[in-house]
């Protein structure tokens, strides 16, 4: 299915939600669903559903709705889930270990190939059979093992250095948990997960509701 150009980030960020709800529909033996019914489950309007999906092609049939399995397969293809990814985690602290222990990533074909840290107390520790290696081994590891995604779970002061090392060794996607905006070449994709910013957004929305 040919994808239209200039699709907004708002639409792209809604795709994982479609993926989650469509998988739940399959688990409950729902074979087809209308845009109205899907919208009621997700919390979107039927018009929003149709507009979002129209960005990627013509899905569904008037009077029939969407074939759930076929639509899920299309969404998975758009999300890039038709292939496997190798990823590494830099920083084996609390956040790094939590990510390493999240088994759902493997079910989505994101395979953890390595974990690195600077702390001697963590080096040698095994997290789900992956041994934490010294950060000094990172460059050599990347030269020997092509990696798609690098997960940054280090301090603000170390994040850019770690990012530069990964980018210079062929990593094309960065999942950044450090509270800093990274500088990368335009061809590198960065997805920031700034936990404090997310919490402050929640706080702002709660405060706005209090005074509205």
CB atoms within 10 A of CB 74: 19
Which of 195, 86, 90, 94 has the alpha carbon at shortest distance from 152?
90
Binding positions are 91-96
Binding positions for NAD(+) are 91-96
Distance CA 158, CA 147 (A): 20
């Amino acid at each position: 299915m040919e994808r239209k150009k200039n699709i907004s980030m708002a639409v792209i960020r809604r795709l994982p939600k479609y993926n989650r709800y469509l998988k739940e529909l399959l688990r409950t033996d729902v074979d087809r669903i209308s845009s109205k019914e899907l919208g009621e489950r997700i919390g979107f309007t039927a018009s929003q559903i149709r507009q979002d999906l129209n960005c990627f092609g013509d899905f569904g049939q008037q009077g029939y709705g969407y074939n759930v399995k076929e639509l899920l397969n299309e969404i998975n293809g758009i999300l890039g889930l038709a292939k496997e990814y190798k990823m590494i985690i830099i920083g084996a602290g609390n956040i790094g270990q939590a990510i390493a222990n999240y088994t759902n990533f493997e079910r989505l074909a994101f395979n953890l190939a390595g974990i690195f840290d600077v702390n001697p107390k963590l080096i040698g520790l095994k997290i789900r059979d992956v041994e934490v290696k010294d950060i000094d081994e990172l460059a050599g590891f990347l030269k020997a093992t092509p990696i798609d995604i690098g997960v940054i779970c280090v301090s603000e002061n170390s994040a850019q250095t770690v990012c530069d090392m990964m980018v210079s060794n062929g990593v094309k996607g960065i999942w950044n948990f450090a509270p800093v905006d990274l500088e990368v070449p335009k061809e590198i994709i960065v997805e920031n997960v700034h936990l404090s910013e997310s919490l402050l957004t929640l706080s702002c929305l709660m405060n706005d509701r209090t005074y509205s």
